[in-house]
Amino acid sequence: MTRLLRLSLLAVLLLTLAGCNTGLKLAYQNLDRLALWTLGDYLSLDKAQKTAFRREFGSLQAWHRSTQLPLYSADLRSLATAFEQDPVPRDALERAMSQIEAHATRVWEQAQPATVSLLASLRDEQIEAFGKRSRERINDDEAERADEKLADRRKRWLREQRENLERWTGRLNDRQKQLLDAGWQRRQPSLLSPEQRKAQRLADVDEFATVLASRHEPGLIDRLSANGDQREQARSTRDSARDRSLLIELLQACDARQRQHVRERLLELADDFDALAQSAQSTKSAKPAAASIAQPAA
């Protein structure tokens, strides 16, 4: 359930990870609304909490815009250069993925004080409502997929993977389609049954609610990070490593057309990040002048 906090407070990072820069500038300008809207799916904040959230999120975004976006841009341009080679060097792809993880960690660490403050402000009835709403959403979601056959799960997974990758590469080639089929075969043995998946999701909600019960005690962030049993954490780590390896294989299988497509997308995204960071500097430079104009004459 810590993912919920990252999703809400760190929506600034999702634009990078989503693989789609359509309307990025406009979306970035409205991230506080996006974050509140996402959080509102689970928590009903009162007026004071929303005001505090906007204030803290605004500070987080200002820091992110001035210090992190230039790093994103530099990393993207470096990765674009790597796509000039055939195949793309594996170490360049490994480095890019490690950089994404490092960026996510920095943003999460920067957001932790605001996260603790927000959670500490929650009332018992808000936490109770959060648990009820989360369980209802899980039950509804799982009910829709309760009768999903293995063949249907395979079809859905392949479709999702193709759509995500093709946003960057364009149409997949035959080798990439074969890699996806092989990726499903590696994934299949570790799949949870619908019943196991539902039970795990409901257990996550219960564990998170237990952590929230101690929200006024020191060490909340450590307890959030430790949320979840060791078996589940080990499975998540294993699955992440497997998915990361598959993605590298897929990107190394890019043909000349796809590599050019990826390069163009990466450079477009880097340009957008540069423009957003530059506008932050312009706004910052303009503030002293505006303040001096507002001062009454002596």
Question: Is 209 among the domain residues?
Answer: yes
Question: Is 288 among the domain residues?
Answer: no
Domain that holds residue 101: 2-282
CA–CA gap between residue 254 and residue 284 (Å, rounded): 42
Question: Is 94 among the domain residues?
Answer: yes
Tokens describing residue 224: 């959030």
Q: For the chain, how many structural domains are there in total?
A: 1
Q: Which helix (H) or strand (E) holds 90?
A: helix 90-120
Tens of each residue's pLDDT in the chain, 298 residues? 444 444 444 444 444 444 444 477 777 888 888 888 888 888 889 999 999 999 998 999 899 999 999 999 999 999 999 999 999 999 999 999 999 888 888 988 898 898 899 999 999 999 999 999 999 999 999 999 988 999 999 999 999 999 999 999 999 999 999 999 999 999 999 899 999 999 999 998 898 888 889 999 999 888 887 765 566 677 778 888 999 999 999 999 999 999 999 999 999 999 989 999 987 665 555 444 333 223 333 2
Question: Is 159 among the domain residues?
Answer: yes
Tokens describing residue 269: 């995204």
Question: Is 74 among the domain residues?
Answer: yes
Q: What is the model's pLDDT at position 8?
A: 44
CA–CA gap between residue 21 and residue 24 (Å, rounded): 5
Task: Reduce the DSSP state of residue 214 to 3 states and report it.
Answer: coil
DSSP string, 109-170: HHHHHHHHHHHHT--HHHHHHHHHHHHHHHHHHHHHHTT--HHHHHHHHHHHHHHHHHHHHS
Q: Please, what is the Cα angle at 112 between 5 and 214, to 5 degrees?
A: 75
- Please check whether residue 253 is in contact with residue 173, taking contact to mean a CB–CB distance below 8 angstroms: yes
CA–CA gap between residue 85 and residue 288 (Å, rounded): 47
Question: Is 136 among the domain residues?
Answer: yes
Q: What is the model's pLDDT at position 279?
A: 77
CA–CA gap between residue 216 and residue 223 (Å, rounded): 12
Q: What is the model's pLDDT at position 84?
A: 97
CA–CA gap between residue 245 and residue 85 (Å, rounded): 19
Q: What is the model's pLDDT at position 36?
A: 85
Question: Is 290 among the domain residues?
Answer: no
Where would I find the beta strands (DSSP E) of the chain? none
The single residue listed with the structure tokens 């530059």 is 278
Question: Is 296 among the domain residues?
Answer: no
Number of other residues whose CB lies within 10 A of the CB of residue 45: 17
Q: What is the model's pLDDT at position 50?
A: 92
CA–CA gap between residue 247 and residue 102 (Å, rounded): 18
For the question of whether the overall pTM of this predicted structure is more than 0.85, the answer is: no
- Please check whether residue 259 is in contact with residue 170, taking contact to mean a CB–CB distance below 8 angstroms: no
Task: Check residue 83 and give left, alpha or beta (phi > 0: left; psi -120 to 50: alpha).
Answer: alpha
